[in-house]
Amino acid sequence: MKNLIALAQLNPKVGDVEYNKNKVIESIKKAEEKGANLIIFPELFLIGYPMGDILTRYPYIANQQLNALDEIKEYCKNITALIGFSEINKNKFGKPYYNSAALINNKKIEKIIRKTLLPNYSEHNDYRYFESHKTDIENRIFNLNGINYGVAICEDAWNDFDFFEKNLYKIDPINEIASKIDVLLCLSSSCSRAKKEQLKHNMMKFCALKYNIKYVYVNQVGANDELVYDGLSRIYNEKGELIFLSKEFKEDLAVFDLDKTDKSIDLTKDKINLQKKEFSLNYEADLDRTYKSIVLAISEYFSKNNFKRAVLGLSGGLDSTVCAVLLADSLGKENVLGVSMPSGITTNESRNDAKILAKNLGINFLEVPIKTMQGCIKSEFENIFYNVSKNWNSRYENSFTNDNIQARLRGMVLWGIANEYASTLPIATSDKSELYMGYATINGDMSGGYAPIADVVKTKLFSLARWMNKNRKEKDAIPTSIIEKPPGAELAINPKTNKPLLAEEALMPYEFLDEVIWRIENLNQSINNMMQFEFLYEKKNVLDKNTKLMWLEKFFKRLNTALYKWYIVPPYPIIDSYSINKIEFKQPIVSNINYSK
Amino acid sequence: MKNLIALAQLNPKVGDVEYNKNKVIESIKKAEEKGANLIIFPELFLIGYPMGDILTRYPYIANQQLNALDEIKEYCKNITALIGFSEINKNKFGKPYYNSAALINNKKIEKIIRKTLLPNYSEHNDYRYFESHKTDIENRIFNLNGINYGVAICEDAWNDFDFFEKNLYKIDPINEIASKIDVLLCLSSSCSRAKKEQLKHNMMKFCALKYNIKYVYVNQVGANDELVYDGLSRIYNEKGELIFLSKEFKEDLAVFDLDKTDKSIDLTKDKINLQKKEFSLNYEADLDRTYKSIVLAISEYFSKNNFKRAVLGLSGGLDSTVCAVLLADSLGKENVLGVSMPSGITTNESRNDAKILAKNLGINFLEVPIKTMQGCIKSEFENIFYNVSKNWNSRYENSFTNDNIQARLRGMVLWGIANEYASTLPIATSDKSELYMGYATINGDMSGGYAPIADVVKTKLFSLARWMNKNRKEKDAIPTSIIEKPPGAELAINPKTNKPLLAEEALMPYEFLDEVIWRIENLNQSINNMMQFEFLYEKKNVLDKNTKLMWLEKFFKRLNTALYKWYIVPPYPIIDSYSINKIEFKQPIVSNINYSK
């Protein structure tokens, strides 16, 4: 008998046990047809990941999973299945659930393996729901057709004492079973992030080689709110060679012959040097993943929430341009409506760029000048402020009120269209650099149903735009002028230049700004630290210490007042190694940090 | 020598070690002056609670706390101090920090006690940052002046095997030390929630009595973002009698003679029956706490973020009315501006009510009819929709576009005023019942810098309004007509009545709606469960099963589409036992739940 293993890299619906169960049964049938004698599903597949607090809220779902397993086991006569689910903890002590995997064999649940290591960092929140269980060595192992398999649930396999310099847990479940198994089966729901693929690869390779075992990794695929799952399930042989790799960002039910000695697959595109902690503008190695992640994230968010169409403002600037391309590729050009909403400040160049972009993409396009509406609001505001000033002092001499009226009127138009047409969602086009700076208008450009590029910094967006022009089927959809002109919100005139104020004039050079973000997220540096290092920008430009300090202080001052904006930013796909305030780096709005230290 | 203990119930600034350290030193001096030989500070006082991810982001703060302790110890010659802080975990294994307390005696750090039980439910996230440490029994105990003290850090004291039916942890640190101590000292940062005060009281009383020890509890006070700390530090004697209680919602440095046999204090106002799991419209027992919590929350959010003034829309309805009163009492009437923004649908009664309310409160008032602006937007929209419809079908026959234009214009006016005047924040007036139903306009009434009543259901708001009319210094500030008229957004006309559509016509009776929320939050019931129980509404009204089912299905359908609104709701103070989606009951937006089960 052959040892054919099926890797069920599937996309669950969170909380929809019925749907997920049917997917399991269907996959078991298909795998069996292909001759598989073992099928592995991702972690928590029956409930879907991330599950949030839905088990607390709808406790019936726990039992529903048990019933589903009962039904599933009838299909496991000639095939063994390993399925992730959340199991009720019936003891007096501990959290209400376990993060478990059911091993079904011969129409019976042969054993249940419980997750021992519970991640509670970044997007993970396992310890909120699950009790850690030190699964017995014997219980982690089963024999099938002469092969000894060991089972790990995601984090259980992420605590090698040799591979990591520091370890979050004192137990390494893999080390405990490694000498007793031939093949490690790892059920996972591990979302895609910059550099994580390379880390994962290095770690699994290391583990297979260290213990002289085969390493089978099955990952969830799809996207749920912020989290994008790339799939990329895989198998390593005992030499640590990657001998099988599932599709990326797609469901895939692959069947692999474990006895076959396949040629090793080279992960050339992922040869990222994880040791190199240096800021670089060379984003090339991560653009393909970035593009595919966002396109999948948008399509999943729309389809899982029953939306079909997107409407966004097209300013002729980089952010809305990149969003428009991603939306067109994700939802289909006929389902995207770009609205150019010029005010008195908008340049003709921007208007034309927006028009040409829409034409190149083939999306729907509309021009709605906002001058009349703006005039109407402004004249009312004059009157309002006249009256408010009778009782309140401290009216600003130079306020952003008029800048914001423009942005908010645009938001009003987009939400209006979404209100008027079925299944339509407006898009927030803010990018990560500008969100860090709070350089986004509440109820304006940062308002929308989804924010596709909120975790991508500006300098990377430039690279992404160029990359898309080269790598999409329709080449050069983005007019070169959009990529080449310096970014600006075109909400105000710079009195010094008499032209629309540029973002870099209002903030600081993006090359510098993005390196500050990089240093915060990757090195946890504060102003004093940063003053001691030479920025990439300084290698290319003359920058005196006073200006550098001024920029840094400006950055942190703006960051501090941007905390509230992060709190209300719409959902966005996580792309970077570290993500803006919702997932990592959560900071209370009222906090009072000395950023200069 | 007397045993005088100081309970340092103080308000820290999150992340501001310098500020918190100075508060510690100042309090030590004052306590010593009053003759105290022991002073207890709240949990994590040197960094402030909740600390979010700021230690990850600004790791220097960990060392800053050590330096602060070094400085503080110089002040502890004749007084012993116990101070909560976050300690670096220097081992290869485990989370990066401990949640610790430093015992300073004779100018030395005599010992460090580490928290063993790490809460990770509701608003708590300890396990994200802290390593659990099984503190030795000896290390938890110290002797001072002949008395044996034991130290617990918050959750350490919340796991009594007899008191709770189920326990989250297998260890009870109090049980381990109880026989060896005379007095338990519990450092805490425990936020105020409905019924929690009663639970806390019952538990501490139980513990003191069970072990025949004195129980000293020191809590943080103040508010940070969503969390409100009521203080209410206290002491129980060996009979479980409450013999000392600090001020509520205020800083308090009380010194108490432990040898004194004080009279027992009766917590009459908190005699809540925790066993009684039944929905009731009698909110009386919780109104004083609700009022004080929100007033403190607003004042803290404003002052800690350097805001001074609030601007809100005054519709003449209940929500904005209650918000206006709370704001006036929190920020001072001169710092509140109420703006009445009638549209064509607004009734004269509502306009008058808004005006009278403002006059009664003495707040600033302005009437800004939005009809002109509305007309201007509407005519542009006609044109826009005409063009969009050329390419897109599925235009709604009856859309909410015009309703929302009104709400969003009001939002635009409020944010405009906030943009134009220094230190001014607009207020979101949505209540909990309506947020559950998504009955709030994005960028409209649910937009603002803070949302004072987002965790208070409508029926409770009616009670609160009546309570405020009775209990505030200026009686009857709220016109009776506001409390008596049925709520409605006045954004659309009901074709059946030809009058403004009432909320209960659009949704369902609030008495019913609020019981659904109560059943979700307290009993985790789904539609099927709820169908089997008689609602309070059914006891008073005839309600056939079909209508009941229809209401329930409507409720859950609306709740499902409201998930996104919860995601972007502004910060609000947590008031209820369970809070809307941000803290508890988190549910992924893309989730697909069968609510009928």
Q: What percent of chain B has pLDDT over 90?
A: 91
Nearest CA-CA distance, residue A14 and chain B, Å: 5
Q: Return the pLDDT at B368.
A: 97
Q: Which of residues 261-320 of B touch A (CB under 8 A)?
A: 300-301, 304-305, 309
Q: What percent of chain B has pLDDT over 70?
A: 99
Nearest CA-CA distance, residue A187 and chain B, Å: 21
Cross-chain CB nearest to A366 (options B127, B384, B417) = B384
Q: Return the pLDDT at B298.
A: 98
Q: Which of residues 491-530 of A touch B (CB under 8 A)?
A: 520, 524, 526
Nearest CA-CA distance, residue B569 and chain A, Å: 7
Instruction: Indicate yes or no: CB of B419 within 8 angstroms of CB of A399.
Output: yes
Q: How crowded is the C-beta side of B393, counted as CA atoms within 13 Å?
A: 0
CATH topology of domain B284-567: Rossmann fold (3.40.50)
Q: Which residue of B has its CA nearest to A447?
A: B443
Q: What is the pLDDT of residues A481-507, one digit of tens each?
A: 999 999 888 889 999 999 999 999 999
Which DSSP string corresponds to B149-204? EEEEEGGGGS--TTT-SSBS-S--HHHHHGGG-SEEEEEE-----TTHHHHHHHHH
Dist CA A293 CA A227 (whole Å) = 9
Q: What percent of chain A has pLDDT over 90?
A: 91
Coil/strand/helix, residue A149: strand
Task: Mutate one of B97, B164, B392 to test the A interface: name it (highest A CB count within 10 A).
Answer: B392
Cross-chain CB nearest to B54 (options A19, A388, A591) = A591
CA separation (Å) from A135 to A83, A112, A177, B379?
16, 9, 11, 67
Task: Mutate one of A382, A427, A565, A593 to test the B interface: name it (highest B CB count within 10 A).
Answer: A593
Q: Return the pLDDT at A269.
A: 56
Cross-chain CB nearest to A415 (options B57, B395, B408) = B408
Dist CA A136 CA A126 (whole Å) = 20
Averaged pLDDT for residues A80-88: 98
Q: What is the pLDDT of residues B343-387, one digit of tens each?
A: 999 999 999 999 999 999 999 999 999 999 999 999 999 999 999
Task: Mutate one of A120, A592, A595, A597 to test the B interface: name it (highest B CB count within 10 A).
Answer: A592
Categorise residue A233: left if φ over 0, alpha if ψ from -120 to 50, beta otherwise: beta
**A183: its two tokens:** 């093949």
Q: What is the pLDDT of residues A381-410, one digit of tens each?
A: 999 999 999 999 999 999 999 999 999 999
Nearest CA-CA distance, residue A5 and chain B, Å: 30
Q: Return the pLDDT at B265.
A: 84
Q: What is the pLDDT of residues B203-219, one digit of tens each?
A: 999 999 999 999 999 99
Q: What is the pLDDT of residues A433-474, one digit of tens each?
A: 999 999 999 999 999 999 999 999 999 999 999 999 999 999
Q: Return the pLDDT at B221.
A: 98
Dist CA B95 CA A119 (whole Å) = 11
Handedness of CA A517, A523, A525, A530 (dihedral sign): negative
Say yes or no to pLDDT of B269 above 60: no
Categorise residue A524: left if φ over 0, alpha if ψ from -120 to 50, beta otherwise: left
Q: What's at B580, amino acid-wise?
A: I
Chain A contact for B408 (CB, 8 A cutoff)? yes
Q: Where in chain B is the domain with CATH 3.40.50.620?
A: 284-567
Rounded to 5 degrees, what angle do the CA atoms A223, A228, A229 make? 90
Rounded to 5 degrees, what angle do the CA atoms A390, A393, A398 make? 110
Q: Which of residues 17-36 of A touch B (CB under 8 A)?
A: 18-19
In this structure, chain A runs to a length of: 597
Instruction: Indicate yes or no: CB of B591 within 8 angstroms of CB of A15.
Output: yes
Task: Mutate one of B133, B363, B589, B597 to test the A interface: name it (highest A CB count within 10 A).
Answer: B589
Say yes or no to pLDDT of A271 above 70: no
Dist CA B479 CA A187 (whole Å) = 62
Cross-chain CB nearest to A57 (options B301, B415, B524) = B524
Chain A contact for B405 (CB, 8 A cutoff)? yes
Q: Where in chain B is the domain with CATH 3.60.110.10?
A: 4-267
Phi, psi angles (nearest 5°) of residue B346: -60, 130
**A174: its two tokens:** 């893999």
**What is the pLDDT confidence band of residue A596, given thresholds at 50, 70 and 90?**
confident
Q: Return the pLDDT at A521.
A: 92
Dist CA B264 CA A415 (whole Å) = 60
Averaged pLDDT for residues A36-46: 98
Instruction: Indicate yes or no: CB of A419 within 8 angstroms of CB of B408.
Output: no
Q: What is the pLDDT of residues B559-592, one digit of tens each?
A: 999 999 999 999 999 999 988 777 888 999 999 9
Instruction: Indicate yes or no: CB of B590 within 8 angstroms of CB of A417.
Output: no
CATH number at B4-267: 3.60.110.10
Strand partners, B242: B236
Averaged pLDDT for residues B447-465: 98
Q: Return the pLDDT at B8.
A: 98
Q: Crossing angle, helix A371-388 and helix B401-420, to 10 degrees?
A: 50
Task: Mutate one of B568, B581, B595 to test the A interface: name it (highest A CB count within 10 A).
Answer: B568
Q: What is the 3-state secondary structure (H, E, C) of A237-249?
A: CCCCCEEEECCEC
Handedness of CA B69, B71, B72, B75 (dihedral sign): positive
Averaged pLDDT for residues B237-259: 95
Averaged pLDDT for residues B229-251: 96
Say yes or no to pLDDT of A270 above 70: no
Cross-chain CB nearest to A392 (options B337, B570, B592) = B337
Q: Return the pLDDT at B83.
A: 98
**B455: its two tokens:** 């965790």
Cross-chain CB nearest to A377 (options B334, B373, B396) = B373
Nearest CA-CA distance, residue A120 and chain B, Å: 5
Which residues of chain A does B397 touch, with a Cβ-Cβ cutoff of 8 Å?
A: none
Pairing of strands B364-367, B336-340: parallel
Q: What is the pLDDT of residues B216-239, one digit of tens each?
A: 999 999 999 999 999 999 999 999
Q: What's at B425, amino acid-wise?
A: L
Burial of A86 (0-12, 13-18, 19+ CB in 10 A): buried
Nearest CA-CA distance, residue B204 and chain A, Å: 21
Q: Where in chain A is the domain with CATH 3.60.110.10?
A: 4-270
Coil/strand/helix, residue A176: helix
Pairing of strands B147-153, B4-9: unpaired
Burial of B282 (0-12, 13-18, 19+ CB in 10 A): exposed
Dist CA B52 CA B119 (whole Å) = 14
Q: What is the pLDDT of residues A221-256, one digit of tens each?
A: 999 999 999 999 999 999 999 999 999 999 999 999
**A265: its two tokens:** 């697959």
Instruction: Indicate yes or no: CB of A570 within 8 angstroms of CB of B567.
Output: yes
**Contact yes or no for B424/B307 (Cβ under 8 A):** yes
Rg (CA), chain B: 26
Q: What is the pLDDT of residues B484-534, one digit of tens each?
A: 999 888 889 999 999 999 999 999 999 999 999 999 999 999 999 999 999
Q: Return the pLDDT at B38.
A: 98
Comparing C-alpha atoms, which of A60, A41, A69, A51 is closest to residue A15? A51
Burial of B274 (0-12, 13-18, 19+ CB in 10 A): exposed
The residues, ordered by sequence, that sit 6+ positions from B90 with a Cβ below 8 Å of its Cβ are none
Chain B contact for A594 (CB, 8 A cutoff)? yes
Dist CA A285 CA A260 (whole Å) = 31
Which DSSP string corresponds to B269-296? GG---SS-----S--GGGHHHHHHHHHH
Chain B contact for A92 (CB, 8 A cutoff)? yes
Q: Please, what is the average pLDDT of chain B? A: 95
Burial of B382 (0-12, 13-18, 19+ CB in 10 A): exposed
CATH assignment of A4-270, among 1.20.140.10, 3.30.420.240, 3.10.20.600, 3.60.110.10: 3.60.110.10
Cross-chain CB nearest to B16 (options A409, A520, A592) = A592
Q: Return the pLDDT at A261.
A: 72
Q: Return the pLDDT at A274.
A: 73
The residues, ordered by sequence, that sit 6+ positions from B191 with a Cβ below 8 Å of its Cβ are B123, B227, B228, B229, B230, B574
Token pair 């057709």 is at which residue?
A145
Q: How crowded is the C-beta side of A409, counted as CA atoms within 13 Å?
A: 29
pTM given for the model: 0.96
Q: Please, what is the average pLDDT of chain A? A: 95
Q: Which residue of B has its CA nearest to A383?
A: B368
Averaged pLDDT for residues A306-335: 98
Q: What is the pLDDT of residues B294-320, one digit of tens each?
A: 999 999 999 999 999 999 999 999 999
**What is the pLDDT confidence band of residue A259, given thresholds at 50, 70 and 90?**
confident
Return contacts of A108-112, CB within 8 angstroms, 24+ apart.
A108/A73, A109/A69, A109/A73, A110/A142, A111/A139, A111/A142, A112/A87
**Contact yes or no for A437/A555 (Cβ under 8 A):** yes
**A483: its two tokens:** 């990529």
Chain A contact for B549 (CB, 8 A cutoff)? no
ipTM of predicted complex: 0.95
**What is the pLDDT confidence band of residue A268, given thresholds at 50, 70 and 90?**
low
Q: Return the pLDDT at B271.
A: 63
Chain B contact for A386 (CB, 8 A cutoff)? no
CA separation (Å) from B115 to A120, B100, B151, B498?
18, 6, 10, 63
Q: Which of residues 164-203 of B touch A (CB under 8 A)?
A: 166-170
Strand partners, A248: A231
Question: What is the longest distance spanned by two Cα atoms in chain A?
Answer: 90
Pairs across A and B, CB distance < 8 A? 318
